């Protein structure tokens, strides 16, 4: 039946009816906050390109855990800034490194808080790539897939032994989910969850993160391992492969320019699905708000709701504390 009998505006007539018929929910528990822990800092160091985000000293981990719990966040995900970097990212395998130490502190302060650890060597390599390098006969350097996954497996066991609930490989090497699952299981970490950054694009939106985690590649780019932004079918292949290899949860990254991919992957899998609202997406909103172009509070909730609407069960986002407050935490 058409207008005038049908009037969709009837369902928008008051706050209460809008709330009753709302299709998508957004709760603090849907949000996971990324955090950067430094081995050397004694005070927080603001990240210039990400207003409100700091690199943090380990001594602040306990308070940070309590705050995340108070805000009702779904969890936190930790990145590390080591004291020293080398070509193989050895500092990532140091049991006294910033991430294992921060995990232990956070789990001691708030045992119920879900603590995830990003697994990748780029934070620890001096060249900034997500793997160890191999020199080809013609002299060019490439990221060596199989040598890298052995390191990722060892790093995952280390983070699990420090108490991480979830390990989250973000490197895009082939076969790393299986290698990590096998390593965890043979060290009896059968309960440690594996969240795979299954579908990660070679994106310009990681710009501010590379300052935050001090991991910009010193030569070349990441297009040899991260996905081509033009590809959608390939995302389903990556997701299916990681599910088969034993991932407990999958992730699409970035979020906003890839909401179609979030939707596609949502339809293709029954695993819980995350999306990463990355640093560039965060900084863009802050820059636009600072320039008086948008209302930050409304934009934050709109963006996060759109990612949930596309099909993400939970969202990794630097907006988490701000959004949790807006949502009444």
Which residues carry out catalysis?
A: 200, 253
Among the candidate windows 92-100, 147-155, 184-192, 206-214, which touches ligand PBG by CB under 6 A? 206-214
Residue from 101, 126, 104 nearest 113 by CA: 104
Out of 37, 124, 201, 209, name the contact with ligand PBG by CB under 6 A. Answer: 209
The answer to whether the beta carbons of residues 208 and 183 sit under 8 Å apart is no
Name the one residue in this structure whose structure tokens are 């070509």.
Answer: 87
The residues facing 235 across adjacent strands are none
Nearest approach, Cβ of 111 to ligand PBG (angstroms)?
26
170 binds ligand PBG (CB under 6 A): yes
What φ, ψ does residue 103 adopt, rounded to 5°? -60, -50
Shortest distance, CB of residue 310 to ligand PBG, whole angstroms?
Answer: 18
Decide: is 279 part of the binding site for ligand PBG (CB under 6 A). Answer: yes
Report which residue's Cβ sits closest to ligand PBG.
209
Q: C-beta of 35: minimal distance to ligand PBG in Å?
A: 11
Give me the least distance between CB of 321 and ligand PBG, in Å please: 15
- CA torsion sign for 228, 233, 239, 243 is negative
Residues 6+ apart with CB under 8 A from 44: 54, 55, 56, 57, 60
Residue 159 contacts ligand PBG per CB under 6 A: no
Question: How far apart are CB 209 and ligand PBG at their closest, in Å?
Answer: 3
Looking at residue 289, the DSSP 8-state letter turns out to be H
Q: Is 278 in the site for ligand PBG (CB under 6 A)?
A: yes
Nearer of residues 189 and 205 to ligand PBG, judged by Cβ: 205
189/282 with CB nearer ligand PBG:
282
Nearer to ligand PBG, 40 or 204 (CB): 204
| Cα distance between residue 116 and residue 33, in whole Å | 10
Residues 6+ apart with CB under 8 A from 296: 285, 286, 289
What is the 8-class DSSP label of residue 12? G
Which two structure tokens, joined as six digits, stand for 152? 């990722």
Residues 113-132 that bind ligand PBG (CB under 6 A): 118, 120, 122, 130
140 C-beta neighbours (distance < 10 Å), count: 10
- Does residue 55 touch ligand PBG according to CB under 6 A? no
Which residues here bind ligand PBG, judged by CB under 6 A?
Answer: 118, 120, 122, 130, 170, 206, 209-210, 222, 278-279
């Amino acid at each position: 039946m058409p207008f005038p009998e049908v009037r969709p505006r009837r369902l928008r007539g008051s706050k209460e009816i809008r709330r009753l018929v709302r299709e998508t929910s957004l709760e603090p528990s849907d949000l996971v906050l990324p955090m950067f822990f430094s081995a050397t800092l004694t005070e927080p160091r603001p990240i210039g390109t990400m207003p409100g985000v700091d690199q943090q000293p380990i001594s602040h981990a306990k308070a940070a855990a309590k705050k995340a719990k108070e805000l009702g966040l779904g969890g936190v995900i930790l990145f590390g800034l080591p004291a020293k970097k080398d070509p193989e990212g050895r500092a990532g395998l140091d049991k006294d490194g910033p991430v294992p130490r921060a995990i232990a502190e956070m789990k001691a302060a708030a045992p119920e808080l879900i603590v995830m650890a990003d697994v990748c060597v780029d934070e620890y390599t001096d060249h900034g790539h997500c793997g160890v390098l191999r020199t080809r006969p013609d002299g060019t350097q490439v990221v060596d897939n199989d040598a890298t996954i052995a390191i990722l497996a060892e790093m995952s066991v280390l983070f699990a032994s420090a108490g991480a609930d979830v390990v989250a490989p973000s490197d895009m090497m082939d076969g790393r989910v299986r290698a990590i699952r096998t390593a965890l299981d043979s060290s009896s970490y059968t309960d440690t969850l594996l969240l795979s950054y299954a579908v990660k694009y070679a994106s310009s939106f990681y710009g501010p993160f590379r300052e935050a985690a001090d991991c910009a590649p010193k030569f070349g780019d990441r297009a040899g391992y991260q996905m081509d932004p033009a590809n959608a079918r390939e995302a389903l292949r990556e997701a299916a492969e990681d599910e088969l290899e034993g991932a407990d949860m999958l992730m699409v990254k970035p979020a906003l320019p890839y909401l179609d991919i979030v939707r596609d992957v949502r339809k293709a899998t029954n695993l819980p699905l995350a999306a990463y609202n990355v640093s560039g997406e965060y900084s863009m909103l802050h820059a636009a708000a600072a320039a008086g172009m948008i209302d930050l509070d409304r934009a934050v909730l709109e963006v996060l709701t759109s990612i949930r609407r596309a099909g993400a069960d939970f969202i990794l986002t630097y907006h988490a504390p701000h959004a949790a407050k807006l949502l009444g935490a």
